[in-house]
Amino acid sequence: MKSIKAILIMSIWTIFALIILYLFDAHINYRQIQWSIGIALALLIVHMVNMVIYFNITGKEPYKWFKNS
């Protein structure tokens, strides 16, 4: 259940970030090297934040072999 909640929030955060990039015309300007670096950094941060969202929401639950352990 926690995993589903985490993946939902990760999806919302990712879509939000992609919309921001789109509104800044990132999909048009990507061939300018300063844009390439900026877009890449933004995507990497999105990925890292996604990981942290998953860690924080799910905790150790997904890795447990037994429900009560």
Partner 1 sequence: MKTFYVNARYLIVPLMTIATIFGIFLGNNFVWLGVILFGFNTIIDTLTKDIHLRADFDEDGNSFGIKKFQYAVMYLMLPTFIVLQIILAWRLFHYTSAYPIEVLSLFGITYQSGISGINLIGATLSAGLWAGLGIIYGHELSHNRKEGFFISRLIMSLSGASHFTYAHVYNHHLDLGHEDDPATAPRGRNVYHHAWLSHVGQSKYSFDLERDKLKKQRKSFFSLSNKWIIGYLYSLPSIIIFVWAGGVIGILSLLVVWVISNFLLEALNFMGHYGLIREHGKPVEHRHSWDNDNVFTSWFFIEIGRQGDHHVRGETYFWELDDVDAPNYGIGYFSLFVLTLIPPLFRKFTKELLEDWDRNKATDSERKIAHQIGNL
Q: Which residue has the tokens 């955060």?
A: 13
Pick the closer one to partner 1 by CB: 12 or 64: 64
Amino acid identity at 53: I
User: Which three-class secondary structure state does DSSP give residue 24?
Assistant: coil
The least distance separating partner 1 from the CB of residue 11, rounded to whole angstroms, comes to: 14
The residues that touch partner 1, with contacts defined as CB under 8 A, are 27, 30-31, 33, 36-37, 39-41, 43-44, 47-48, 51-52, 54-55, 62-66, 69
Nearest approach, Cβ of 16 to partner 1 (angstroms)? 16
Residue 58 contacts residue 50 (beta carbons within 8 Å): no
